[in-house]
Amino acid sequence: MSKVFKEENGDEWFFPDDAYILSETDSKGIILYANEIFCEIAGYKLEEIMGEPHNIVRHTDMPRIAFKGLWDDIQAKGFWTGIVKNMRKDRGYYWVHATVLRRIHSNGEVTYLSVRRTPNRDDVNSCITLYQELREAE
């Protein structure tokens, strides 16, 4: 039984409030790991996304500057949090509240882990306006 669900007569998808959508990448953003709920909400099988760049779920409504901020912060501070609109394989979309963390392993390898929860609806509504303005300014 799938845990994700779709808005009636729309393209927006949702996941349970208590779910954690997880993925881990290498230092270049190549997907090394994703959990089951990640695959369900993004509409991919695990084998379709393993080894792919994380921009596989990038939505064209997202401004470039948001990801510049993400990469600058995780490299400089080891931490970033923000609201992201992602695109599914079937071109539907879903919003997440994401926290990305840098992991420095004992062998010196650097990976990044993203933990995503259901976003607050007011935050999503603010981001819809903000991201549209930022996109228009690009």
Q: 4, 34, 37, 100: which one contacts ligand FMN (CB under 6 A)?
A: 100
Q: 6, 12, 40, 67: which one contacts ligand FMN (CB under 6 A)?
A: 67
Query: Structure tokens of 74?
Result: 């995780």
C-alpha span between 23 and 129 (Å, rounded):
27
Q: 58, 97, 117, 135: which one contacts ligand FMN (CB under 6 A)?
A: 58
What is the footprint of ligand FMN within residues 29-48 (CB under 6 A)? 29
**135: Cβ contacts below 8 Å, ≥ 6 apart:** 61, 62, 63
Beta strand 31-34 pairing with 21-25? antiparallel
68: amino acid identity, one letter:
K
Q: Give the interface segment with ligand FMN, choosing from 3-11, 12-20, 62-70, 127-135 (CB under 6 A).
A: 62-70
Instruction: Read off φ and ψ for residue 52, nearest 5 degrees.
Output: -90, 155
Q: 112, 119, 127, 131: which one contacts ligand FMN (CB under 6 A)?
A: 112
The answer to whether residues 82 and 98 touch, using CB atoms and an 8 Å cutoff, is yes
> Could you say whether residue 114 binds ligand FMN (CB under 6 A)?
yes
- Site size for ligand FMN (CB under 6 A): 15
137: amino acid identity, one letter:
A
Give the footprint of ligand FMN on this chain (CB under 6 A). 23, 25, 29, 54-55, 57-58, 62, 67, 70, 84, 86, 100, 112, 114
